[in-house]
Amino acid sequence: MRRWILPAVLVVIGVVGIAGILIYDRGAKNEIESQLYIPKQEHVTPEIQLLQRYVRIDTTNPPGKEMPGAQFLASQLEKNGVKAEIIESAPGRASVYARLKGRRGGEGLLLLNHIDVVPAVPRQWRFPPFGGNIALNQLWGRGSLDMKSIALCELDAFLAVARAHRPLERDLVFLAVADEERGGKLGTAWLLEHRPDIFEGVRYTINEGGVTETKQEKLTYFGIEVGTKLSVRMRISAPSREQLSRVRLALEPYIGPRDPERILPEVREFLHDIAPYRIEIRALLDDIVRTERAGKFWLLPQGYKELMQNVVWVSGVRMNNGRATMDVNLYNLPDEDPDRRIAWLRSKIAPFGATIDEVISKDAPAPLSSTRTPLYALIAREVRNEYGNVGIGTEILAAWTNDSRYLRSRGIMCYGMWPFPVDYYQALGIHGIDERIRIDWYMDGIALSRRLIAAYAFEPLG
């Protein structure tokens, strides 16, 4: 439990802030509950049957035996005349690579996805998590959203280009990787180190990470992820529980800082993009620099504030071999130097006799991807061709990350997207219970992916 000792004036301010958040939450709740779902008649296509087959392959990580999933994907490529390579980073830890060559160098598009899924407890689910059941016009199963459906949208579009038997303007690369759900050390990170040829000539990547917002069965906002917060995970210790408890209290102000660290241009753009869809706080988001200068930054919900802050997360204190230990995560801005942050933490904990025992993981700086590229413009064009005049903008993830961070740090532009709509209730299933995808919306994603990938492969573009 957090302990705050605040002057009375801050208490009053806090009450006002809470009231504002409650108003915002009420508006969001009303918006969500307007999404009455009346299932349509199910139409099970070959594409949906293929997704059923993929979801039924248990690729839970841990333990992360992705080989059966890799073999499934490789077989789809091979039966369509595309050479596929299965690459093992460790026994059973498999990724799949295929490439279609284009005439232009240095403009390749990587279609990135991961094979592994997070664990599921069957007794908690309405249907077996690896059953691929279809009910209420939805396909239920672990990975149906994160991210086997996106993978098969990418694969379908990739194979459609291959079957066209036309010269490509640009390379297309299909890459399904292992170990994303546990940090990517045996997947994307391993491939970058041991198989750099896979990424030669790649300028852009399409991956997971986007968002879609719906209202009354219609897509209203299509968010294209251009970056994420990055993290440094550490284990710290002190001679006694009391000392480490004091460390924890000393770090409390940095768990939810009041003021922004920096406002990156891309963050300002994102908040401006999303502002029209956040009625209660639209004026605050529309021009975040103006909001900050007016002293109103603290009125923002924490999820938005964290996009402009370096944030600390700490675990509880525990004893280990006579020393008190605690895990600390530093969630850093995308361009932040992680070593500077480690040095900052060391300076904060040293006065209490605490030390950093281990740096468990450390993300390198990964600049946010530009929206002023031919691919971003093409995505926006094809989204409107598929879904009409919907809002299109960016998305920056404050609490989650993905394998795009490895590529952005090497200068590759990465865009995260769900090609199909996902509503609020479906989104709750990601890393949760009863993960599922609407099969009619999935087919919309198939159609969008086919047009988008074909356009990038064949059109001259600017």
Q: Concatenate the DSSP letters of all residues of 391-427 into one string.
A: EEEEEEESS---THHHHHTTT-EEEE--SS---HHHH
Strand 355-362 to 230-238 pairing? antiparallel
The answer to whether 421 and 252 have CB atoms below 8 angstroms apart is no
Q: Which pLDDT tens digits describe the chain residue by residue (462 residues)?
A: 333 333 333 333 333 344 344 434 445 455 544 455 677 778 999 999 999 999 999 999 999 999 999 999 999 999 999 999 999 999 999 999 999 999 999 999 999 999 999 999 999 999 999 999 999 999 999 999 999 999 999 999 999 999 999 999 999 999 999 999 999 999 999 999 999 999 999 999 999 999 999 998 899 999 999 999 999 999 999 999 999 999 999 999 999 888 999 999 999 999 999 999 999 999 999 999 999 999 999 999 999 999 999 999 999 999 999 999 999 999 999 999 999 999 999 999 999 999 999 999 999 999 999 999 999 999 999 999 999 999 999 999 988 899 999 999 999 999 999 999 999 999 999 999 999 999 999 999 999 999 999 999 999 986
DSSP 271: H
- Domain map (residue ranges) of the chain: 46-208+418-458, 229-362
pLDDT at 256: 87
**CA nearest neighbour of 138 among 411, 374, 381, 421:** 421
Give the pLDDT confidence score for residue 400 in this predicted structure. 87
Q: 3-class DSSP state for residue 245?
A: helix
pLDDT of 22? 41
Q: State yes or no: cis peptide before 234, omega within 30 of 0.
A: no
Burial of 131 from C-beta contacts in 10 A (0-12 / 13-18 / 19+): middle
State the pLDDT at residue 30: 53
Say what the pLDDT of residue 35 is: 54
Query: What distance, in Å, lies between the first and last C-alpha atoms of the chain?
Result: 55
Could you please state the CATH topology (level 3) that the domain comprising 229-362 is classified under: Alpha-Beta Plaits (3.30.70)
pLDDT score for 40:
76
* CATH superfamily of this structure's domain 46-208+418-458: Zn peptidases (3.40.630.10)
* CB-based burial label for 413 (10 Å; 0-12, 13-18, 19+): buried
**What Cα–Cα distance (Å) separates residue 401 from each residue in 184, 210, 228, 276, 316?**
11, 11, 6, 25, 23
pLDDT of res. 8: 34
Beta bridge mates, 329: 233, 313
CA 296/CA 22 separation, integer angstroms: 17
Residues 448, 172: Cα–Cα separation, whole Å? 17
